[in-house]
Structure 1
Amino acid sequence: MPETITAVYENGVFRPLSSVSFKDGETVQIQL
């Protein structure tokens, strides 16, 4: 199920601005 989050890109990493339901190390697909 698609989920929309807001994130900041810094130092080569997308950092979510709110809590997410993903596990550490989980692979996700990002569409920009």
Structure 2
Amino acid sequence: MQINDMPKLIEAVYENGVFKPLQKVDLKEGERVKV
């Protein structure tokens, strides 16, 4: 995370042990996020 990055609120559903976003997200494969 860079200093100028702003947090984003992304709605997701938790299914079978995985959070699935309800909208397209601009993340790289394997990128870490905080929920």
TM-score, scaled to structure 1: 0.82
Q: Which of these two proteins has the greater Rg computed from alpha carbons? A: 2
Unaligned 5+ runs, structure 1? none
Root mean square deviation, CA, Å: 0.6
Percent of aligned pairs sharing the same letter: 60
Task: Name the count of aligned residue pairs.
Answer: 30
Unaligned 5+ runs, structure 2? 1-5
TM-score, scaled to structure 2: 0.77
List 4+ stretches of structure 1 deviating above 2 A.
none
